[in-house]
Structure 1
């Protein structure tokens, strides 16, 4: 089994980001539809009335191979750019997703794992973290403050 990862995160010094590789034992079409629907569900402030940041997502573009979105934090109004690159494997029965969230704000000192949570919350909210064969590969090096992230808050 060979995986190709196309895409390099270029960021300014100090700019926070999160990059994660996600693997699913389901077709990319299902993953794509689930992510896009979740972004649309969380487009308003409704998901943040009790705290947290599961709101204010905006779909920028979408195809079965690539999804681009933005997330605005509800209180400080920071904006993060989110991308999902989807690649089928094992005769289109499995899906590999290269996910990335990058803060547009270069001056934020700590992001508390917000960029990791941008990615995780969409997958968890859509039910994809419970999908057959779900596996995630990331680290604190790839995702700022990932190990201390509290995705119920961020």
Structure 2
């Protein structure tokens, strides 16, 4: 095997078998599945991100200051800056059809770099976007997330007026 092949295989394994976030409490991984094509879901999520790109949180705390950094049909790179604490969270959404084209899987990974050592509520940053975009009501919606992959999930109080 060539060095290039080994590196490609290592990158593939890292994507397929990401490190557990229990080791890294600043990371949250959530997966949602739907009985709809990805193109419909991506459009709804993009519209919500654009609606929450403003600097004023009209819909509640932390529901603003999202910025789309990079977009493609398979991935969205987003940055969120907390208006309350200034914490920056990097969010990656990966879109992929399942074996059937009429189904879609969204995998979200958020990582927050906190200078003060506190853990953010990354789960709410992800969930609130999915919920506000209407995707929790979409056909076939199912969430796959647990406290091992998303430590902040166990203490999450999404949609409440509190600092995350």
Which TM bucket (shorter chain)? 0.7 to 0.9
1:34 aligns with 2:39: no
More helix by share: 2
C-alpha change, 1:83 and 1:14, in structure 2 (3 Å) is closer
* 1:105-144 aligned within 5 A: 105=114, 107-111=116-120, 114-144=121-151
1:101 aligns with 2:73: no
- The CA distance in 1 between the partners of 2:71 and 2:150, in whole Å, is 23
Q: Which has the larger radius of gyration?
A: 2
Please, what TM-score do these two structures have when normalized by structure 1? 0.85
Q: Any idea what SS the aligned residue of 2:95 has?
A: strand
Large movers: runs of 4+ above 3 Å: none
Q: Residues of 1 paired with 2:77 and 2:146: CA distance?
A: 22
Task: Give the TM-score of the pair, scaled to structure 2.
Answer: 0.80
Structure 1 segment 30-109 matched on structure 2, within 5 A: 30-46=40-56, 48-49=57-58, 51-105=60-114, 107-109=116-118
Extract unaligned runs of 5+ from structure 2: 1-14
Match of 1:22 in 2: 32
